[in-house]
Structures are given as C-alpha cells and as structure tokens.
C-alpha cells in the first residue's frame, strides 16, 4: 500500500481536536484508503475496535442509512458515553441532509468525526450552512510523482517511471493495475471519468444536455493552461454547431470544478497588486483524462508538464495564481505560509537560446522573492538568481 504521509500527518495533527475533519477530493484519489490507514493507526495506538464506526455510503450494505434520521439513530446507539468514539463517514454527500447528522454527532460528548466527499459543493453549501467554523478541510489529490515512485522497487530508470506517470495516471489503483497489466488502465480511467461526470456532476446538478457538457469538457481538455472564459467557449461551440449560452458554460465549468475534475486559477497583476477575476486558466486533476478524452490528435507534453507542476504546487501551497508582469506572464505565483511569494516558470526545454531568453524575460523587474525555471532538461543553472531545475528532481524534493 502506498503511504500517503502528507495526509496522515494532517489527520494525526487534528485527532481529538474539537473540529470535524473533512477529507475532500476527486473520486478514487484515495480518501477511503487514508481513513482506513488512520483507523488502523488508532487500533495500533490502543483504541478498541468498538470505539471505531466506519461507514462507506457507496457500499450497498449501508443503503438503509442513506436516510439521515436512520443514520443518526444508528450512530447514536453506537456512541460510547465513557470513552471516545471515532466516526468515519465516507462519501457522506450521498446521505440526505447529512450535515444535520454530522452536526448532531459532533456536538455529543466523546466523539471525533471524520467525513469524506467527492464534490466541493457539499462544503460550500451543505456544510457551511450549519457547520461554519466547526470543520477543517483536508484537500486530497491523486498520487504525487514522489508517491507514485514509491510504488516501484526499481527506481534506477526514473525517466521511465515519469513516462508511466504521465501516460497511466496518478490514481492509486491505476498504479496497481499498471504493475499487473498496463492494458487494463485505460478502461479503469474511463470508468472513473464516467462515474465522476454522471454521478457527481450530471446527477447532482440535474444536467439534461450531456452532449454540451461533453463538448465543454473536451474543449477544456484541449485548452489546459490557456486563458479562457465562458464567452470564448460559448462562441467556439456555437460556431461549431453546438449553440450554448455563456451562462450554461459558466455553470458547467463550476460543476466540473466542484467535482474536482478541473481547477480554476485566477491571474494576479503583480504591478497593480490585485487579483484579476476574468480570463482564468484551468488545469486537470489528472492529465491522462485530457489524453484519453480530448479531440487533439497528439499529446502536448509541454502542457502536460505545466499541469503536473501546477498540481504539485497545489499540494505544497494554499494560494496559487497566474502572474501578470506587464506584458509578460509568469506561469505560477505562490504564496508561502510566511507570506512570501515565489515565482515559477515552466518550459519543456530551454536549450534553445531564444526560448531561454523568452522564459527569463517574464521575470524582468520583479521583486527579490524566489524565482524558478522548471524544465525537462537534465542540466541545472542559476540565471542571475533565477534557479533552473529539472522537473523530476524538483518533484522528488519538497524543498522549493
């Protein structure tokens, strides 16, 4: 089993704290597994089995508990009065009015509550209405490259492992399938994709025109890392005989973001010191989705690299923007815990002198915060304070 220490560390930190622990993330990214790992740690630390309640609402065995009243009665009868009861509710958004149940068991003496969900909307709407200030969110992603690499004993050919990472995806079980039979991974990824789209997005949002939704998705997969907006997408689809309003496109983009398929990123005007709300960029939770379902004839490895760097920055930092430096663009600007910024430029290669100058030019006249140029090139360099690093080395090192 692949260790997910980053997330276990957070669960340990908040254990027994007076907060509901909410693990959110795309389906099959490992939320259920991380709760099982943590429950196992509790048992090893001396917690008794009858102090742990684990329910996965995707399991038909718990179908009767999808009603919130029945679920509450079930939990209430199992909570101990004289010792801590640890409650794990997996994919809890499947339960009607689940937030009422979560709040009711949370306020009881000697409970520690952990829940997972595969749609961000249940946090912004369902939970926030009742549980404001009572929960902490732990945002989970599929495997980082470092976690992916840990699944392989032979690490001598790290470039081959990286190729497998971008071609077969970062979902934990896809790694196991790949090790047994790579030919089965594509079907598995298609199954994940269909489940997310039709269970977490179409059903939840009651979307009727799934053909337009699919067209919006394909457009987004073909334009990962490109500045876009609902009007631009609407105009493109209408010109290609699929008439759709700006409002509908905006709604679908929000639904895809809520389902953790896409991650929107605002632009930050570095000179004006303000966030620009229009013309965002979007990145995909796993670039294999884009490779499988886009209309593009070939893979754009530069965009794949940019997407991988974005996801890694998302693991490391809370705040990420696209930087606007007058007429130039910084691929990513991040805000560290101490308030300092750091700048990241991404390029497949900068061995061509013109490409190198173009990438470095984006850093012109910026402040003295850290600056990085991330490439697939094996060589490293220091361009007057701009640190050039190889992406594989950077992904395996959490320092920058």
* Average confidence (pLDDT) over 370-394: 97
The string of pLDDT tens digits covering residues 346-371 is: 999 999 999 999 999 999 989 999 99
One domain for residues 187 and 104: no
One domain for residues 105 and 36: yes
One domain for residues 208 and 91: no
One domain for residues 132 and 13: yes
The string of pLDDT tens digits covering residues 295-331 is: 666 788 999 999 999 999 999 998 999 999 988 999 9
The string of pLDDT tens digits covering residues 64-74 is: 999 999 999 99
* Average confidence (pLDDT) over 152-170: 92
CATH of residue 354's domain is: 3.40.1350
CATH of residue 207's domain is: 1.10.10.10
Q: Does 164 map to a domain?
A: no
Domain count along the chain: 3
pLDDT at 296: 66
The string of pLDDT tens digits covering residues 23-44 is: 999 999 999 999 999 999 999 9
Secondary structure of the chain as H, E, C letters:
CCCCHHHHHHHHHHCCCCCEEEEECCCCCCHHHHHHHHHHHHHHCCCCHHHEEEEECCCHHHHHHHCHHHHHHHHHCCCCCCCCEEEEEECHHHCCCHHHHHHHHHCCCCEEEEEEECCCHHHHHHHHHHHCCCEEEEECCCCCHHHHHCCCCCCCCHHHHHHHHHHHCCCHHHHHHHHHCHHHHHHHHHHHHHHHHHHHHHHHHCCCCHHHHHHHHHHHHHCCCCCECHHHHHHHHHHCCCCCCHHHHHHHHHHHHHCCCEEEEEEEECCCCEEEEEEEEEEECCHHHHHHHCCCCCCCHHHHHHHHHHHHHHHHCCEEEEEEECCEEEEEEEECCCCCEEEEEECCCCCCHHHHHHHHHCCCCCCCCEEEEEECCCCCEEECCEEEEEHHHHHHCCCC
pLDDT at 297: 67
pLDDT at 126: 64
pLDDT at 214: 92
Which of these three, 105, 139, 173, is where a domain ends? 139
Contacts of 127 (CB under 8 A, 6+ apart): 22, 99, 102, 135
* Average confidence (pLDDT) over 183-212: 91
* Sheet architecture: strand order including 111-117: 52-56, 85-90, 111-117, 20-24, 135-139
Q: Does 170 map to a domain?
A: no
Domain containing 81: what range?
5-139
pTM for the model: 0.94
One domain for residues 291 and 359: no
Which of these three, 247, 279, 299, is where a domain ends? 299
One domain for residues 267 and 308: no
One domain for residues 247 and 261: yes
The string of pLDDT tens digits covering residues 261-279 is: 999 999 999 988 899 888 8
Q: Does 85 map to a domain?
A: yes
pLDDT at 131: 76
pLDDT at 399: 72
Q: Does 154 map to a domain?
A: no
Contacts of 214 (CB under 8 A, 6+ apart): none
Q: Does 34 map to a domain?
A: yes
Q: Does 246 map to a domain?
A: yes
Q: Does 145 map to a domain?
A: no
One domain for residues 61 and 129: yes
CATH of residue 102's domain is: 3.40.50.300
The string of pLDDT tens digits covering residues 82-98 is: 999 999 999 998 898 89
Burial 11-33 (b: 16+ CB within 10 A, else e): beebbeeeebbbbbbbbbbbbbb
* pLDDT of 294 higher than 70: no
Which of these three, 234, 265, 299, is where a domain ends? 299
* Average confidence (pLDDT) over 212-226: 93
Q: Does 9 map to a domain?
A: yes
The string of pLDDT tens digits covering residues 127-144 is: 777 777 889 999 999 999
- The per-residue pLDDT of the chain, averaged, comes to 93
One domain for residues 258 and 308: no
One domain for residues 317 and 385: yes
């Amino acid at each position: 089993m692949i260790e997910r220490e980053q997330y276990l560390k957070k669960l340990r930190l908040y254990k027994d704290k007076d907060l509901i622990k909410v693990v959110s993330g795309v389906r099959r990214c490992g939320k259920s597994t991380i709760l099982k790992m943590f429950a196992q740690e509790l048992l090893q630390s001396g917690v008794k089995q009858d102090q742990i309640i684990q329910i996965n609402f995707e399991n038909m065995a718990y179908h009767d508990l999808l009603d919130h009243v029945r679920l509450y009665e079930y939990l209430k009868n199992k909570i101990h009065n004289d010792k801590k009861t640890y409650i794990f509710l997996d994919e809890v958004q499947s339960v009607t009015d689940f937030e009422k149940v979560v709040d009711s068991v949370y306020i009881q003496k000697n409970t520690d509550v952990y829940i997972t969900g595969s749609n961000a909307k249940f946090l912004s709407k369902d939970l926030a209405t009742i549980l404001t200030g009572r929960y902490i969110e732990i945002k989970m992603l599929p495997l980082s490259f470092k976690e992916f690499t840990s699944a392989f004993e032979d690490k001598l050919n790290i470039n081959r492992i990286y190729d497998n990472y971008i071609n077969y995806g970062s979902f934990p079980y896809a790694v196991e399938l790949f090790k047994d039979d790579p030919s089965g991974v594509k079907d598995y990824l298609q199954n994940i994709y269909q489940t997310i789209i039709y269970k977490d997005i179409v059903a939840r949002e009651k979307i009727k025109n799934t053909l337009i939704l699919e067209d919006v998705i394909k457009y987004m997969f073909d334009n990962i890392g490109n500045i876009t907006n609902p009007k631009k997408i609407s105009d493109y689809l209408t010109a290609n005989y699929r008439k759709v309003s700006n409002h509908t496109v905006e709604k679908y983009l929000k639904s895809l973001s809520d389902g953790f398929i896409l991650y929107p990123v605002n632009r930050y005007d570095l000179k004006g010191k303000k966030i620009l709300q229009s013309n965002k960029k979007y990145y995909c939770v796993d670039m294999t989705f884009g490779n499988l379902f886009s209309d593009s004839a070939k893979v754009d490895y530069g965009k794949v690299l940019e997407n991988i760097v974005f996801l890694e920055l998302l693991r490391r930092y809370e705040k990420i923007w696209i930087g606007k430096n007058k007429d130039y663009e910084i691929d990513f600007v991040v805000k560290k815990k101490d308030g300092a910024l750091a700048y990241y430029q991404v390029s497949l290669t900068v061995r061509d002198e013109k490409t190198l100058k173009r990438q470095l030019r984006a850093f012109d006249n910026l402040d003295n915060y850290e600056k990085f140029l991330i490439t697939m090139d094996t060589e490293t360099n220091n361009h007057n304070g701009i640190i050039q690093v190889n992406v594989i080395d950077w992904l395996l090192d959490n320092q920058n």
